[in-house]
């Protein structure tokens, strides 16, 4: 008798006890990387000296860094292609689609574990895979056959009943959960969906929900594998990979009830996916830009909703509307059935199948603009325009707004379109298979690919300044922004480090260097959002030794440990108030204090002192003392 999560974890458990809160080590069956985190992950994999990957399946996708404004991104694509051939990895070429969508369509399997160097890896939970996002280094270790360590999460059961009514969609289900729980409501938890309502949702709809579970801070989200999953895999000509997977117990740590028939169209308002309100609250507000796409909402169903709603109509003259198909599969399908023609003739701007505007690679809105997107994140500045306001909605709401020019409940525009299921277009010719023996493949390294910075073991005494003090819910987009200008530097740590905190404190990199490094002080849920380990490596390069925060987002905390930056947690959160930027903090006997789990910090400037917890597993303690995972594995 177990839940789906417990069944999968039990089958993959290598170390530890499955008790919520304690560290477990699991076997990883599949890995995925994307280009923006992949270059670093493969540099790390290379450094490990393994001849080949040791997983059932590893796939390297190119979907983020697609604007080729100079040589850098194209060089990275070639690097990734050559690494894949050398080490036995499938390579999904630029143009084949967004990693999560392609993985769901072609590779994700019920009951398997998947580790991906991208926070939206849980998308594969839509077919009952236990899919977790992690830093590149964790994925590199897993590619080498190594154990993946995580804190055993609490398992939250989300009981779905009823059926979505017209104009409400899967996006609204996850937005409703975000409304209830906010962006840290899922930290340390897996969200497992169950109940009669599950069968009413298609796999891509389930994947929209598990995808954006990342915004709850959840470890992952998962659906059971049932007849709907079987049909989906059959259609993908992968029926043989289906296995039934159902909870036979409701022994969840917590149960959330959700009546699908009561879900209304929702909107996440600026600047957080957790800032959710019903669409009715915003009706009448003028909009400048609408974009439909991203790994959350660009499935065949989502594109067809758009096509049906747009057929014979024109985009409002004050709106720029772009559409970004999630994969080459669905792009080909709408091209083949004529839907694309309806979309084009409405005045839509069609982009290539990739992350694109979701990661600020183009389509930045005008200054002070109001942009409405079907994406999963609306952090300030992420769209490329700092003073723009980004709103997150379902495809049906997005298209209604694109037609009307302002926020509107889509039901006001007519009858709900009927979408017929179509057989997917299957053509894996843009997924390159590695040769049997790749040992003679030469790795192609462009001039933008720089080696990793050197990592030193942890000092015994530390006396340094607080370089910055941040508020709550700081995202890795704040720490290490993305976008068309900065993303191409992902394989060049010295260059990218000049942009650390550039959205909130452009002087930070200069100050950190002048002061010879120091501390970061953060609030609650520090480091939420993207899995980018650059949010740890670049601060490390600038000399950051420790981050003291009230509480943590899972992936970023692991990334700090992986690169030898010590994450310390205020024992008494009120001590946060007594610290200011520029204060000199002193820690003595740092190494032994970390071993004991308690670190006393003296604020030399204020003449006060406070205690912090080094809330780390025994293995993580060894890793930070050695100055990071790479040193640790070497010794």
Evaluate the omega torsion of the peptide bond into residue 271 and state whether it is cis, within 30 degrees of 0. yes
Q: Tokens for 259, please give them.
A: 């009546």
532 binding ligand MIC? (CB under 6 A):
yes
Nearer to ligand MIC, 482 or 625 (CB): 482
* Secondary structure of residue 555 in the 3-state scheme: helix
Could you confirm whether 179 is annotated as catalytic?
A: no
Question: Residue 592 half-sphere exposure, CB side, CA atoms within 13 Å?
Answer: 3
Binding-site string for ligand MIC from residue 2 to residue 41, where x marks contact by CB under 6 A and - marks none: ----------------------------------xx----
Minimum gap (Å) between residue 259 Cβ and ligand MIC? 30
Minimum gap (Å) between residue 141 Cβ and ligand MIC? 17
102 binding ligand MIC? (CB under 6 A):
no
Q: Catalytic pick from 532, 534, 554, 556?
A: 532
Least Cα distance to 552 among 540, 538, 565 occurs for 565
Nearest 5°: CA angle at 615, between 613 and 617? 145
376 binding ligand SF4? (CB under 6 A):
yes
Could you say which residues in the range 244-303 bind ligand SF4, by CB under 6 A?
A: 294-295
Could you confirm whether 366 is annotated as catalytic?
A: no
The CA distance from 115 to 138, in Å, is 8
- 381: partner contacted, choices ligand SF4, ligand MIC, none (Cβ within 5-8 A by kind): none
Could you confirm whether 64 is annotated as catalytic?
A: yes
Q: Which of 29, 118, 205, 629 binds ligand SF4 (CB under 6 A)?
A: 118
Backbone conformation region of residue 560, classed left if phi is above 0, alpha if psi is from -120 to 50, else beta: alpha
The CA distance from 91 to 58, in Å, is 9
Nearer to ligand SF4, 36 or 548 (CB): 36
Stretch that binds ligand SF4, among 83-91, 283-291, 340-348, 351-359 (CB under 6 A): 351-359
Q: Catalytic pick from 29, 58, 60, 63?
A: 63
Could you say which residues in the range 130-189 bind ligand SF4, by CB under 6 A?
A: none
Could you confirm whether 253 is annotated as catalytic?
A: no
Q: Which residues partner with 583 through β-bridges?
A: none
The CA distance from 579 to 521, in Å, is 8
- Interface with ligand MIC: number of residues (CB under 6 A): 12
Could you confirm whether 583 is annotated as catalytic?
A: no
The CA distance from 632 to 615, in Å, is 19
Strands 566-570 and 608-613: antiparallel
Cα separation values, 272 from 115, 148, 408, 512, 514, Å: 26, 30, 21, 28, 33
- 230: partner contacted, choices ligand MIC, ligand SF4, none (Cβ within 5-8 A by kind): none
The alpha carbon torsion through 558, 561, 566, 571 (nearest 10 deg) reads 40
Could you confirm whether 103 is annotated as catalytic?
A: no
Stretch that binds ligand SF4, among 342-350, 354-362, 384-392, 403-411 (CB under 6 A): 354-362
The CA distance from 233 to 614, in Å, is 45
Minimum gap (Å) between residue 124 Cβ and ligand SF4? 13
Q: Which of 66, 85, 90, 98 binds ligand SF4 (CB under 6 A)?
A: 98
Assess contact for 190 and 20: CB atoms under 8 A: no
Phi, psi for residue 175 in degrees, rounded to 5: -65, -35
Could you say which residues in the range 470-499 bind ligand MIC, by CB under 6 A?
A: 482
Write out the catalytic residue numbers: 63-64, 118, 377, 530, 532
Residues that bind ligand MIC (CB under 6 A): 36-37, 64, 118-120, 133, 359, 482, 530-532
């Amino acid at each position: 008798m177990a839940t789906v999560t417990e069944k999968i974890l039990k089958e993959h458990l290598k170390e530890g006890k499955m008790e919520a809160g304690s560290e477990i080590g699991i076997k990883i069956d599949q890995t995925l990387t994307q280009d923006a985190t992949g270059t670093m992950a493969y540099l790390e994999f290379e450094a490990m000296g393994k001849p080949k990957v040791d997983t059932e399946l590893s796939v390297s996708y190119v979907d983020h860094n697609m604007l080729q404004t100079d040589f850098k991104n194209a060089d990275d694509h070639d690097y990734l292609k050559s690494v894949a051939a050398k080490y036995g990895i499938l390579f999904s070429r630029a143009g084949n689609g967004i990693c999560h969508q392609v993985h769901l369509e072609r590779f994700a399997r019920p009951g398997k574990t998947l580790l991906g160097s991208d926070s939206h890896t849980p998308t594969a939970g839509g077919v009952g895979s236990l899919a977790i996002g992690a830093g590149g280094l964790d994925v590199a270790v897993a590619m080498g056959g190594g154990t993946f360590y995580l804190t055993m999460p609490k398992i939250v059961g989300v009981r779905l009943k009823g059926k979505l009514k017209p104009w409400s969609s899967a996006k609204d289900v996850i937005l409703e959960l975000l409304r209830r729980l906010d962006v840290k409501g899922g930290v340390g938890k897996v969200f497992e969906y169950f109940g009669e309502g599950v069968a009413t949702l298609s796999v891509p709809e389930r994947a929209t929900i598990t995808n954006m579970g990342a915004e709850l801070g959840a470890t992952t989200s998962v659906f059971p594998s049932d007849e709907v999953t079987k049909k989906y895999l059959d259609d993908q000509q992968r029926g043989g990979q289906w296995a039934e997977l159902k909870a036979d117990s409701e022994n969840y740590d917590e149960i959330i009830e959700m009546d699908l028939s009561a879900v209304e169209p929702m909107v996440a308002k600026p600047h957080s996916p957790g800032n959710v309100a019903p669409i009715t609250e915003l009706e009448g507000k003028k909009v400048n830009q609408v974009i439909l796409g991203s790994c959350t909402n660009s499935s065949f169903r989502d594109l067809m909703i758009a096509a049906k709603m747009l057929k014979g109509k024109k985009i409002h003259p004050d709106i720029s509307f772009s559409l970004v198909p999630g994969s080459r599969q669905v792009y080909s399908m709408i091209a083949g059935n004529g839907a694309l023609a309806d979309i084009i003739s409405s005045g839509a701007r069609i982009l290539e199948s990739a992350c694109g505007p979701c990661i600020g690679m183009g389509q930045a809105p005008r200054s002070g603009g109001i942009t409405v997107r079907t994406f999963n994140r609306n952090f300030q500045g992420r769209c490329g325009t700092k003073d723009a306001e980004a709103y997150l909605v379902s495809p049906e709401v997005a298209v209604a707004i694109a037609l009307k020019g302002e926020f509107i409940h889509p039901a006001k525009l007519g009858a709900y379109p009927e979408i017929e299921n179509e057989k997917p277009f299957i053509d894996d010719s843009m997924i390159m298979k590695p040769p049997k023996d790749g040992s003679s493949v030469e790795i192609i390294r462009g001039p933008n690919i720089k080696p990793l910075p050197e990592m030193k073991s942890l000092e015994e005494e530390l006396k340094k300044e607080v370089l910055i003090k941040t508020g709550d819910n700081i995202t890795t987009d704040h720490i290490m922004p993305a976008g068309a200008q900065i993303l191409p530097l992902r394989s060049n740590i010295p260059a990218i480090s000049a942009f650390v905190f550039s959205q909130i404190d452009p002087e930070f990199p200069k100050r950190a260097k002048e002061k010879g490094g120091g501390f970061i002080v953060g609030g609650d849920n520090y480091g939420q959002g993207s899995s980018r380990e650059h949010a740890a490596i670049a601060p490390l390069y600038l000399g950051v030794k420790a981050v003291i925060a009230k509480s943590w987002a899972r992936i970023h905390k692991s990334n700090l440990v992986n690169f030898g930056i010590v994450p310390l947690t205020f024992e008494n959160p009120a001590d946060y108030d007594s610290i200011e930027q520029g204060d000199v903090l002193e820690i003595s006997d740092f190494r032994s204090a970390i071993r004991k789990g308690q670190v006393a910090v003296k604020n030399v400037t204020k003449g006060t002192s406070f205690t912090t917890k080094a809330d780390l597993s025994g293995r993580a303690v060894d890793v930070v003392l050695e100055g990071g995972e790479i040193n640790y594995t070497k010794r």
